[in-house]
């Protein structure tokens, strides 16, 4: 029996222990899709027979390994992103075409073993933040079908939040990878512009567009983002740079002044924002009120001025010939750009440059922002009655992010008394994506608001790394008395070490109890050709200077060498000289030091 919400670690654990196969998972997903109550989630799907064939192809190939970190993991793709074998419609049937190849990000995920289920609904041409502007219907919030799912990546969010796929791809120009996350209790990663290439994506505003990731937990979303990212010569806006760090404690986070907290009379959402501020403070942050005006003014430029002309540029011929096939609201927005002059556009470029300078000064006072993802949540009926004004409200705290070249992470922040979700966004300058993921995971865990539609689901400890950039820190694997809660763990925590994740070694290691050691210590020895259960380890991150001091105190016969983990990666960790375990008690079958200690204490 699979959990209601699918996560990567859960599925991979089932694959490893033999209780699940990709084919069985496909059958369960098809059952869930058939039983689903929201018919507007999917625009097209991989045919059932072809999906089963793809699952069987995986099973006939190599077992899950480091070369396919997403082996058998089901995902969905917003239907403005190309997937070979399926039409790309951008939610406009008259625009549809059959691409010969996958978009760059889709190709990378499929190469990693991920299993494409189909293409999801969206606000037409990715124009909207509400999810109601599609001839394929309006996907609804998984918590109340009367309410919008958020857009434009509406179907992508609902597919994850309802448990039909493990993760999905969306896009984000104004907030489309964040607002749907907030309205469906999901994580939404809006990466640094260009970090995920947009080759094979129907442009909204080409210079601002981002491919985004939805998942139920930060570990999954972050893992997918890392696999999909990277330069692509076919995308002129693709770029790479070293990831930047944020303080792990004592960080300063910007919050709205009370006078600038606009929730449009939604007191419940206002209170959830205050709760999130308190929660992030408890995690070691210091709240700093700031002047939101330059950011708000930048946000207003995205639709109110010349920048909307960029939406028209790739669609000009289509709009001229097929305007009558478009959603009326979308047609009005994109078609309205036909009257924008080059002079108006350059005036807005200059206005944005001035606002960017003001924003840069503000960042001297804080390290990141904590903002509401959206100020409130509307019903489908309300949105359809007032589509422009209410949609504009939804972008109040998101529209500026791409214009000012920031990255963002949408994180669930609890539920209102009416059972509807609320979300916040962590925002930082470009190339702080790793750091936001590490902090976002802590914030999500502290909020304890479940996963997607399952409000009672626990957030499991991630097996995949969610780590701050390692330019000034070194990762070490520990196996014994340095584990969390063990006698020597203080040697890691006191110099500023932080636990990244728990893992397991590859099978070719034996594990022993070293004689005459106080406190008791184990010895991990490489045994080429041995096929054991693997040994539990913890991966810790230490400041580089502290790592040197730590290693210098390690007594013989222990030392630091390269350990291979079961996922195929290598990390520095404790190893023992083989001669020292001659005659020692072997405890390999126990699978780890905790199991041994538990046994001798009972």
Q: Catalytic site residues? A: 78, 152, 176
Give residue for tokens 């909020």. 447
Helix H or strand E encompassing 49: helix 48-60
The DSSP secondary structure of 448-486, one letter per residue, reads: ---BTTBTT---PPPSS------SSEEEEEE-STTSTTS
CA distance 272 to 443: 13
Beta bridge partners of 61: none
CA distance 38 to 33: 9
CA distance 138 to 304: 25
**Any residues with CB less than 8 A from the CB of 62 and at least 6 apart, and which?**
68
Cα dist from 30 to 21, 71, 86, 118, 214, whole Å: 14, 18, 18, 11, 20
Does the N-terminal peptide bond of residue 557 adopt cis geometry, omega within 30 degrees of 0?
Answer: yes
CA distance 405 to 433: 12
Q: What does the buried/exposed string (b/e) look like for 265-300 if buried means 16 or more CB atoms within 10 Å of the residue's CB?
A: ebebbbebbeebbebbeeeebeeeebbbebbbbbbb
Nearest of 152, 211, 193 to residue 334 by alpha carbon: 152
8 A C-beta contact, residue 87 and residue 45: no
Reduced to 3 states (helix: H, G, I; strand: E, B; else coil), residue 346 is: helix
Alpha-carbon torsion angle 186, 12, 459, 370, nearest 10: -40
Give residue for tokens 């990466």. 191
Instruction: State the DSSP code for 115.
Output: E
CA distance 448 to 420: 15
């Amino acid at each position: 029996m699979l959990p209601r919400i699918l996560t990567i670690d859960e599925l991979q654990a089932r694959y490893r222990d033999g209780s699940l196969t990709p084919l069985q998972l496909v059958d369960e997903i098809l059952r869930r899709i058939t039983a689903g109550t929201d018919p507007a989630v999917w625009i097209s799907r991989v045919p059932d027979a072809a999906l089963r064939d793809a699952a069987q192809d995986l099973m006939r190939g190599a077992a899950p390994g480091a070369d396919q970190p997403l082996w058998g993991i089901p995902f969905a793709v917003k239907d403005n992103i190309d997937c070979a074998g399926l039409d790309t419609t951008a939610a406009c049937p008259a625009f549809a075409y059959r691409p010969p190849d996958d978009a760059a990000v889709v190709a990378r995920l499929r190469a990693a073993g991920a299993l494409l289920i189909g293409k999801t609904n969206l606000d037409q041409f990715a124009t909207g933040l509400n999810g109601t502007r599609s001839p394929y219907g309006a996907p609804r919030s998984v918590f109340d079908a009367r309410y919008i799912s958020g857009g434009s990546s509406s179907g992508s969010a609902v597919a994850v939040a309802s448990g039909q796929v493990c993760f999905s791809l969306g896009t984000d120009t104004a907030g489309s990878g964040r607002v749907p996350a907030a309205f469906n209790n999901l994580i939404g990663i809006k990466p640094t512009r260009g970090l995920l290439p947009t080759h094979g994506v129907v442009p909204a505003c080409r210079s601002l567009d981002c491919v985004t990731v939805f998942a139920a937990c930060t570990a999954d979303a972050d893992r997918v983002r890392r696999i999909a990212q990277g330069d692509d010569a076919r995308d002129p806006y693709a770029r790479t740079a070293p990831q930047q760090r944020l303080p792990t404690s004592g960080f300063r986070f910007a919050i709205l002044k009370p006078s600038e907290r606009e929730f449009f009379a939604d007191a419940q959402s206002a209170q959830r924002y205050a709760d999130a501020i308190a929660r992030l403070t408890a995690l070691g942050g210091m709240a700093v009120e700031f002047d939101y005006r330059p950011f708000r003014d930048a946000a207003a430029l995205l639709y109110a001025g010349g920048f909307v002309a960029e939406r028209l540029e790739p669609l000009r011929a289509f709009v001229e010939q097929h305007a009558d096939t478009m959603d009326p609201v979308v047609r009005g927005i994109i078609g309205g750009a036909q009257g924008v002059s080059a002079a108006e556009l350059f005036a807005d470029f200059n206005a944005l440059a001035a606002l960017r300078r003001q924003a840069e000064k503000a960042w001297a006072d804080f390290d990141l922002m904590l903002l509401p993802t959206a100020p409130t949540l509307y019903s489908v009926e309300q949105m359809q009655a007032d589509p422009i004004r209410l949609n504009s409200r939804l972008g109040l705290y998101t529209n500026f992010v791409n214009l000012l070249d920031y990255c963002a992470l949408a994180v669930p922040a609890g539920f209102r008394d009416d059972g509807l979700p609320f979300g916040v966004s962590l925002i930082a300058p470009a190339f702080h994506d790793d750091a936001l993921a590490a902090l976002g995971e802590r914030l999500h865990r502290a909020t304890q608001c479940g996963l997607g539609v399952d409000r009672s689901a626990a957030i499991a400890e991630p097996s995949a790394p969610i780590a701050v950039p390692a330019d000034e820190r070194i990762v070490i694997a520990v196996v014994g008395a340095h584990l969390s809660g063990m006698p020597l763990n203080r040697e890691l925590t006191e110099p500023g070490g932080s636990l990244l994740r728990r893992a397991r070694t590859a099978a070719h290691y034996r594990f022993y109890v070293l004689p005459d050691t106080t406190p008791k210590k184990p010895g991990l020895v490489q045994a080429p050709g041995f096929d054991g259960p693997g040994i539990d380890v913890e991966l810790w991150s230490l400041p580089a200077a502290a790592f040197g001091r730590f290693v210098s105190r390690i007594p013989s016969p222990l030392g630091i060498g390269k350990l291979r983990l079961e996922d195929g990666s290598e990390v520095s960790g404790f190893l023992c000289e083989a001669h020292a375990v001659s005659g020692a008690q072997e405890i390999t079958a126990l699978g780890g030091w905790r199991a041994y200690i538990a046994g001798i204490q009972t």
